[in-house]
Amino acid sequence: MPPRNEPPLPLSPAADMRRRLKAIFIGSAGNLVEWYDFYAYAAFALYFAAAFFPSSDPVVQQLNAAILFAAGFIVRPLGGLLFGRLADLYGRRNALTASVLLMCFGSLVIAATPTYASIGIAAPVVLGLARILQGLSLGGEYGTSATYLVEVSDAKNRGFYSSFQYVTLIGGQLCAIFVLLILQNVFLTSDEIRAWGWRIPFVIGAALAVITAVMRRNLHETDAYIEASKAARESTLRSLFNYPRELLIVVGLTAGGTAAFYTYTTYMQKFLRLSVGLTDIQTTAVTASSLIFALFLQPLYGALSDRIGRKWLLIFFGVCGTLFTIPLLSTLMQTKSAFTAFLLIAGAWTIVSGYTSINAVVKAELFPTNVRATGVGVPYALTVSIFGGTADPIALWFKSIGHENWFAYYLTAIIALSLTVYVTMRDTKKHSAIQRHE
């Protein structure tokens, strides 16, 4: 049997397909666990915020919790650089394994952190440090997992297979919501969840991360990396600056998409509870239902991109996001029906999935193998830290000063900015750096 970092022996088409599917499954499963761990914070913030941020105003408590949520995004560019360099220099498998172990540690710290009543100001400080560790992990996970999924996919179905990164990304948040639903409806009362039950999802996440790390140690390395590793090595960061246009494209195409994504995921749960006025259980049910709807859209849009190209889907998101974000959020704010809220959020996901389903493959197709993980991870993480992680606190800040509707205009402006990039960029399906090196 050849060593893991040596090219495998030639396989039959059926065996090669099984190997690809196994790699995509393990890579995607690990991505799901990482995002579950990261999103458990957002899903349970409504319950533990008071334990770390004492205040008589629930909006202020959620704003403080959202600021720490954003702190996890601030360090994601550093995580993208560290793990991207690890992936480009020492292999995708090693970077994927290391990132999930760091996420495991961060989750354990959150699960064990005493409350403000026990240790005072040290409680939110420790919570913030744990979020920083998780942010570093996730910063490395995105670029490396996107690169791995794209490199193990065949060229004809690359959009479809790479869309499973966002299937598992959304699935991670969905799993966090399901844990909340089960705790709410089966095991614990709302008071028990607020008192101590909010720690349970972080313990579950840490255990799943250990299992994932073991699975990832057995992943085969991608053929593209093995081939590129035979060439002379130079600094990944220095090589990355040979692609300034591609770096700017990643920033531009990500800004609007990531702001919209975090609006309809992490912020939407708080929006439904604090602004629409749904109950805790209604809020969780609507959030979970809309995420299930979004999950099934990803492979459909990804497969469509393999037929018509990536650019048209991005333009669809940019145009519809610019035209309909304000009407969608304004109507959602006025409704009191859980079912109507679901329909409106589902409509938003029909638009946003034009970005989420294919953004990973678009970014990976911009860069050659030797800088791909870093090229995808660093500018993406930087943009997400600016526009994605801040969507939640900015929206809550607008609400706290009595101008909640301003957020819809803010989001529309960012999507319109990204639309200019979608219109002017080349279609990466037709001009792929991956295909040129196959």
Q: Quick check: 408 pLDDT over 60?
A: yes
pLDDT score recorded for residue 233:
55
DSSP output for 396-413: HHHHHTT-TTHHHHHHHH
The verdict on residue 111 lying in a domain is: yes
Q: What value does the mean pLDDT take over residues 354-379? A: 84
Provide the pLDDT confidence category of residue 297 given band limits of 50, 70 and 90.
Answer: very high
**Which pLDDT score is estimated for 10?**
53
Residue-wise pLDDT for 160-188, tens only, equals: 888 887 888 888 888 888 888 888 888 88
Confirm whether 146 is domain-assigned.
Answer: yes
Number of domains in the chain: 1
Residue 7 lies in a domain: no
Domain with 394 in it: what CATH number?
1.20.1250.20
If one compares 281 and 305, the residue with the highest pLDDT of the two is 305
pLDDT tens, 54-90? 765 666 666 667 666 667 777 877 887 787 777 777 7
User: Is 60 exceeded by the pLDDT of residue 226?
Assistant: yes
Query: Residue 294: its pLDDT value, please?
Result: 92
Q: For residue 144, is it within any domain? A: yes
What is the average pLDDT score of the chain?
Answer: 80
- The predicted model gives 236-249 an average pLDDT of 78
pLDDT tens figures, 115-148:
877 888 788 888 888 888 888 887 777 777 777 7
Angle between helices 76-90 and 92-112 (to 10 degrees): 150
Which domain does 335 fall in, by range?
Answer: 18-436
Q: Long-range pairs for 394-399 at CB < 8 Å and ≥24 separation? A: 395/263, 395/267, 395/271, 396/59, 396/62, 396/63, 396/66, 396/267, 396/270, 397/63, 399/59, 399/274, 399/275
Would residue 52 count as lying in a domain?
Answer: yes
Examine the pLDDT at 31 and tell me if it is beyond 80.
no
Domain annotation covers residue 37: yes
pLDDT score recorded for residue 137: 83
Q: Burial of 398 by CB count in 10 Å (0-12 exposed, 13-18 middle, 19+ buried)? A: middle
CA 375/CA 1 separation, integer angstroms: 33
Answer whether residue 5 is part of any domain. no
2 falls within a domain: no
